Structure 1
């Protein structure tokens, strides 16, 4: 099988207790926000090409255990964000109908949130912020995630409500806000889908 080998395992037939966590602190709303970011200097961002069809993109997300990806073109230029909710449900059918296309012909670019519609925070601001500050910002924006930019204007990272909820073991409900008539119709469709 090549350069990798199977590691030895042990049977869990004794009494086991959880280890003491000397180096880790329980995260709270008052913890430093840096502890919940996806930092692109430490972890390669999850990206998808703009022309990938929506079924393949959803398959990649499910098997990669991620809910969103950054959308790029073939030159790795950042174009927007796509999440798994964008790839399923009424939004897909609505876009397909508006464009008079088959659902199977839609690509990530057709459903993504364009970068011009996204918000970002400076990484330096997040370094002094609390997790609770970020949650309030996400609620105010009505977005599930916010991008981080460095001093040179490069994409430095991302913070998502789902990552915070997972880290703090609490539910976080971010209600989508409408900033235009188009947003109002999108929100109505999303709520109708949840009810159905």
Structure 2
């Protein structure tokens, strides 16, 4: 740590206003979708190994100030995505009960959304899209995020509903879609827990 220097700070007495935004446009639903991309060519993706226990994974997310991570195996192969809701919701107890395991024995792999259940958009398509187009896609899918793939078929990035909400300063509510009776049951229980 000796190569870095502590920077000086100043007191905020007498400071009451924000700067004008001359050099940046306010983001809107009609802004280019590329403004809300987490681009893996500029930012290393947040990853977690598949065999990390759920409490440790949640600790990593909270301390890393992220809501989701890409799940990999020990060969760095992409397996799926895990988010903080997966690690704290009813799904945890349900899976532990189904497997007759203690909650503390569950791993990221037990709760992640598998690659086969995820959706992706071509990066080139997103370059031509607006934020509103991506938001409409997320709502239609019933997913909190969508992955981006480039022409070579590798993961190029991700766009999440929470990133859009943060960038536009608006609430974004993506309703999970049910594809089976089991999904309907899970969604109803999650909704009941949130409103209780």
Q: The TM-score by the shorter chain falls in which range?
A: over 0.9
The 5 A counterparts of 1:25-174 are 25-174=25-174
In 2: Cα distance, 1:110 partner to 1:15 partner:
50
Any stretches of 5+ residues in structure 1 without a counterpart?
A: none
3-state SS of paired residue (1:71): strand
In 1: Cα distance, 2:39 partner to 2:15 partner:
38
CA contact (8 A) 1:32 1:129 kept: yes
How many angstroms does 1:16 deviate by? 4.4
CA contact (8 A) 1:91 1:189 kept: no
In 2: Cα distance, 1:129 partner to 1:192 partner:
36
Can you list the C-alpha shifts for 1:51-100, whole angstroms capped at 9, x where unaligned? 00000000011111111101000011000000000001311000000000
In 2: Cα distance, 1:15 partner to 1:23 partner:
21
How many angstroms does 1:188 deviate by? 2.0
How many angstroms does 1:192 deviate by? 2.1
In 1: Cα distance, 2:58 partner to 2:126 partner:
30
In 2: Cα distance, 1:109 partner to 1:44 partner:
21
In 1: Cα distance, 2:140 partner to 2:36 partner:
19
Q: How many residues align?
A: 196
In 1: Cα distance, 2:89 partner to 2:187 partner:
12
Alpha-carbon RMSD across the aligned residues, in angstroms, is 1.1
In 2: Cα distance, 1:189 partner to 1:106 partner:
21
The 5 A counterparts of 1:182-193 are 182-193=182-193
3-state SS of paired residue (1:159): strand
Structure 2 equivalent of residue 23 of structure 1: 23
In 2: Cα distance, 1:30 partner to 1:118 partner:
26
3-state SS of paired residue (2:95): helix
How many angstroms does 1:191 deviate by? 1.2
Structure-2-length-normalised TM-score: 0.96
Structure-1-length-normalised TM-score: 0.96
In 2: Cα distance, 1:185 partner to 1:111 partner:
17
Any stretches of 5+ residues in structure 2 without a counterpart?
A: none
In 1: Cα distance, 2:148 partner to 2:52 partner:
25
In 2: Cα distance, 1:35 partner to 1:23 partner:
15
